[in-house]
Amino acid sequence: MEQILRDHWYAMGQYDRDHRIKLVVDEYGPWYREGTELDPTHIFGQQITIRDALATALTLDTFNRNPDKVAMANNAQLINNINALFLAHEDQFMVTPNFHVFDMYSAHQDSQALRAEFYAPSIHYTRDGRPQKLWGMNGSASRKGNIVTLTVVNPDATNPQLTQIAVRGARVSSASAIILTASDKHAHNTFEHPDAVKPVKLDTSVYSDHVIATLAPASVSKVEIVLGA
């Protein structure tokens, strides 16, 4: 997604040098083969897992890192469909891990985007017989008043990340955090167990200029840092 944004932005800049026109991302989200939908009547329906939450969070962070480029982006879809936030059938209803990601990331709304640099070893893997790599960690940050919100994804399926969050030019007064994760990246909610996957408290250690937290494998975290005077 980030490369698509950059490529389109560069191409548009050749004709709109002042970049008056912004990008609209039509739809985003993983699309799988049939077989996990809750009912055959759900067209393009699919179960939503922790893995989907990671993809959604990485995408939302990409948009947050490019607020000068992206004017609007549309998740595909809202309910009983690709990358849904909600699943329902007859009189049953539940939220998916994607809903929790959106809820966590809502703290960025109406805030000032902040530059955030992430340093972590890349994840290496093989796709179609060729070596590939993925961010070892990535996210985005924003500020509203004296509160800095950091959202961050650890996409490594097996290794936790002991993370130091450094705040430049300000003093950390306090911090709190929540994390969305599970021991199995295929974990998901069901009508029988609607809270099987939901955010829980993440322990943090607070110092005057940084915060330390351990981010579990395959996790999405939100850290709120209160800045002191």
CA distances from 206 to 150, 216, 224, 228 (A): 15, 18, 11, 12
User: Burial level of 219, CB count in 10 A (0-12/13-18/19+)?
Assistant: buried
> Is 157 found in the same domain as 97?
no
> Is 75 found in the same domain as 15?
yes
> Is 165 found in the same domain as 130?
yes
> Is 216 found in the same domain as 122?
yes
Q: What is the pLDDT of residue 83?
A: 95
> Is 132 found in the same domain as 102?
no
> Is 212 found in the same domain as 195?
yes
> Is 200 found in the same domain as 120?
yes
Low-confidence ranges of the chain (pLDDT < 50): none
> Would you state the structure tokens that stand for residue 124, as one six-digit string?
């290496």
Q: What is the pLDDT of residue 60?
A: 97
Select from 108, 123, 140 the last residue of a domain: 108
> Is 42 found in the same domain as 77?
yes
> Is 91 found in the same domain as 25?
yes
CATH number at residue 220: 2.60.40.1180
Question: To which residue do tokens 């959106």 refer?
Answer: 102
> Is 125 found in the same domain as 104?
no
User: Which residue range(s) make up the domain with 210?
Assistant: 112-228
> Is 104 found in the same domain as 75?
yes
Q: What is the pLDDT of residue 229?
A: 73
Q: What pTM, to 2 d.p., does this model score?
A: 0.94
Give the count of domains, the chain.
2
> Is 102 found in the same domain as 134?
no
Q: What is the pLDDT of residue 62?
A: 96
CA distances from 192 to 93, 150, 182, 188 (A): 10, 33, 18, 11
Neighbouring C-beta atoms of residue 142, cutoff 10 Å: 21
